[in-house]
Structure 1
Amino acid sequence: MNTQIEVRQMTSEDIDIIYRVFTEHNIGKSLDYISKCWEENKTGKRITLLAFYKGNFAGSLHLLTKSFYPHFAENNIPEVNDFNVIPPLRRYGIGNELMDAIEKIALEKYGVVGIGVGLYKSYGSAQRLYAKRGYIPDGKGLMYNQQPVEPGSQVCADDDLNLYFTKNV
């Protein structure tokens, strides 16, 4: 555990700092989206964890208690979602601290946790992180907008093209 990193659950007072820091670092999260995330925290639809490095906001990670991905939703598998670490603070262990904390919550309550990951180059570090942490493909194949990609079909290689993984206790 890195003593320079603090991880805690989001509060309403965090909305403005999250928006400001994400905007400064060109992480496209609107104020409306961040506010919606807070509202979903209050209703239990989402758990948002924030990381602070040396006292400064460094990133966030969400757990959707009901995934939009049908296989996870049907099987009561919560989904790790929207994982962001501020670019200049990457490689300090912040992402691993966030993942440790969110997995602890998910695994204690559900016994399993799921995650979807994009397939193009900018997702490479995430792909490697999840594999190192013991996530395995869910066996449902490639998905586009949470729906199966049929053999021979063409899809756009964008943020909606994902492979989904799970991790058990």
Structure 2
Amino acid sequence: MPRRFATLIAAFMVLLTALAVAPVSGGAAAKKAKPNRLLWATVNVCDTADHPDTIGIRGSMPGNGIRKQEMYMRFQLQYLSAEDKKWHNIGDAGDSGWIDVGSAKYQRRQTGRNFTVVPPQTGSFKLRGAVTFEWREGTEVVKRARMSTSGKRGSTAGADPSGFSAATCSVTK
């Protein structure tokens, strides 16, 4: 009897653990968007004379032809930590919040955000963007993707200088 009781307790603990780590959702989990030439993020402004202490992040996402779905992007600025050599979100000042970029009926949508930063007193710091893309039907997220900025995206609207596209940006005093 004690062995059977211990087995029952162990099974119950496994069930509790599974429930504790299961995602909470009102519907089915969102599908991960597949890589696509129309899905990208880039740095298109990096501390120029016309945009001092500014980093611009631009993104592109493909539509899927479904008129009742809306596409959203969220831009987050990240810095490379000198201590742990990892990328970290800057926080609220480096977060655009969710931006509705239009109906998914379109072939693609692009938008971007500029962030002004305070340069360090000495040296420089390295920045990049992380963009989250969502396709939503009402309040349900049906597809999601997240990517860091990369370079060589060709001409992007708002780039400074014209045609600029990079994975990162270093800001100096």
TM-score (norm 1): 0.25
Scaled by the length of structure 2, the TM-score of the pair is 0.25
Q: Which has the higher helix share?
A: 1
